Structure 1
């Protein structure tokens, strides 16, 4: 079985060689090489892209338990002065997926010598989590029919919380979110004769203002839970003082604690844009990007995580509300019972997606023990 030092070194190697979503070729190869030494009973390659699934079978019949982690890194330039600093310019593991992979590798190393008694355990390395497309592609892949998990679990490290403390709750755990791209088109004209054109400036201003106000309608009973619209980008016309603008772009992130509220918010935002375009005689298009469903933990999944914390003497906090950040693990809890939990990465850790963030190696044995307790509880 791999030692803690082996796993830390492996995490550092993954950190040093990050790859963006849907480009995780070398990362997948590193994972495959080490897992083949564990002699899994079945290996699925190129699932949902560069994804990998390693199956460890028990001798008796029983449930299939899937443990998932992520392969991809982010387009962020690392500023840390580390001996294992990213060698890829503008790309780095600033979400801790390198650490998550090391934890699931520890589990694979354990399963190599301790097969489950019943059912089977699957270690899944999912591509493209950062874009929200990876889990969807994995589940839609025909190979996923060979997996058919009964239970699924995942963890995510969480800076700003005590190191090694678990956060989990039944129900909505991560927010649904999606990027909205609004393109308005009118007609350019000379700046001296704006009346001869159709400027999107006023419609753009109204859309920005009113998008931010949409979540307030939950106070009128139209939406429940946490809801937020954040305008992230706006562009109007060109840098030309002699030209009145004819085109504009607005981009916003819609975020809700439930999938039902997201559907309602999308409808509201679309109606708002349509109304402003018609009022100002503009044409418009809408595009959606970075689509994440809410991750919803089942009551049974939460209880399994709680039991694992009890067995391993790991502190557990059950928050009243879920977290604002998004995760595509909700695709798996749509098809199997389970839960995602957060693992505190330290009170003083830089936040996720910050250029100075680094996954704390101390969490590798903590995460491993929790996953081990989960699979032993379900599969023996």
Structure 2
């Protein structure tokens, strides 16, 4: 169990991380801070620069057994923090407004407990993952050749969730987070004088038809297997001038589904629709994909283990529903039995990604206790 001194040190560390946020792909100093803070826990192996700036700490048990991976995220968001917290972000335009500083602090708490008492068997991998916010981090970690020596049997993670009562957890087997991907479209035509639009090739008519057609592909609804949502996020056409018929445009949309199979189908339908409209107007077309998140699905066995650990750790449980938001922890489910749970930040707490959000320090002890319990339940 963490002592009061441990908790004071962990809270101070979390505040230090919060003051110096680094966005996806830039987490070098954050990883170094975690490495330094956990050095006295004596990990048996340390793998740095994993999948970018990822950091893995490995703790061996005395006897052979399964590998349990616990994952947190290192990255912050490109959002300006507001408010007057004493530990407010000191980096303009960047802030830990999703709680990844708190999640990583929880893993540092687990590291302290592992440093004092190794599991009886198997090994624990504490995975501080980069670039979760872009959906690139988990895939990069899995693709790193060094991860082949760390492949777990079980993987667990948590995310704090404003709107849920403080300190209560929610977990359920099956779909947990939607798959999503950003679709960036660039249409290339020919600019002309506004008095002679017939001499140009403009994307305007294609966009006029395409926007409602794309939105009709995914109109949201209940979060069942057939859930699909297309959200228009950015649109630009030509220059802001009255004398020019635009010859170029960009449209950005986010595609969202409950399953990976549903995403493959929605992508194909969207591409076919866009290609047909571009061809009808004689436009060149470029399609690129961004922020690619796989669906996050909780394995039944891993979910049961995590639920039992939460109960054993005295964490009250409430019913869980799938989330529209995406989470790249789902990719760990391709190599392990994986489960993620939500940990309530308070019903009136500012929402994730809001400029006045801050992680609740009350969750550090709760999250540490829950992860330590699932490790001891599995590995002794």
TM range (shorter): over 0.9
Q: Residue in 2 aligned with 1:322?
A: 322
SS at match of 1:329: helix
Q: Residue in 2 aligned with 1:367?
A: 367
Query: Is the 2:220–2:227 Cα contact (8 Å) retained in structure 1?
Result: no
Q: Residue in 2 aligned with 1:255?
A: 256
Separation (CA, whole Å) in 1 of partners of 2:225 and 2:316: 30
User: How do 1:266-281 residues align onto structure 2 when only pairs under 5 Å count?
Assistant: 266-281=267-282
Corresponding residue to 1:73 among 56, 71, 76: 76
Separation (CA, whole Å) in 2 of partners of 1:304 and 1:84: 36
Q: How far off is 1:318 after superposition?
A: 3.4
Are 2:14 and 1:47 aligned?
no
Query: Is the 2:220–2:228 Cα contact (8 Å) retained in structure 1?
Result: no
Q: How far off is 1:216 after superposition?
A: 5.0
SS at match of 2:252: strand
Q: Residue in 2 aligned with 1:94?
A: 97
Gaps of 5+ in 2: none
Deviations 1:273-303 (A, max 9, x none): 0111111121111010000001111000110
Query: Is the 2:73–2:132 Cα contact (8 Å) retained in structure 1?
Result: yes
Aligned-pair Cα RMSD in Å: 1.5
Task: Label 1:278 to 1:217 Cα distance change in 2 as closer, same or farther (>3 A).
Answer: farther
Runs of 4+ in 1 over 3 A off after TM superposition: 216-219
Q: Residue in 2 aligned with 1:309?
A: 310
Task: Label 1:217 to 1:85 Cα distance change in 2 as closer, same or farther (>3 A).
Answer: closer
Query: Is the 2:220–2:229 Cα contact (8 Å) retained in structure 1?
Result: no
What TM-score do the two structures reach when normalised by structure 1? Answer: 0.96
Separation (CA, whole Å) in 1 of partners of 2:138 and 2:311: 30
Q: Residue in 1 aligned with 2:240?
A: 239
Query: Is the 1:218–1:224 Cα contact (8 Å) retained in structure 2?
Result: no
Are 2:337 and 1:334 aligned?
no
Q: Residue in 2 aligned with 1:194?
A: 197
SS at match of 1:262: helix
Separation (CA, whole Å) in 2 of partners of 1:255 and 1:361: 32
User: How do 1:124-143 residues align onto structure 2 when only pairs under 5 Å count?
Assistant: 124-143=127-146
Gaps of 5+ in 1: none
Q: How far off is 1:76 after superposition?
A: 0.7
Separation (CA, whole Å) in 1 of partners of 2:274 and 2:7: 54
Deviations 1:287-339 (A, max 9, x none): 100000011110001101110122122122333x4101111101111110020
Q: Residue in 2 aligned with 1:26?
A: 29
Q: Residue in 2 aligned with 1:378?
A: 378
Q: How far off is 1:178 after superposition?
A: 0.5
User: How do 1:181-220 residues align onto structure 2 when only pairs under 5 Å count?
Assistant: 181-215=184-218
Q: Residue in 1 aligned with 2:283?
A: 282
Query: Is the 1:182–1:250 Cα contact (8 Å) retained in structure 2?
Result: yes
Q: How far off is 1:3 after superposition?
A: 1.5
Q: How far off is 1:226 after superposition?
A: 1.9
Separation (CA, whole Å) in 2 of partners of 1:215 and 1:45: 41
Separation (CA, whole Å) in 2 of partners of 1:264 and 1:167: 30
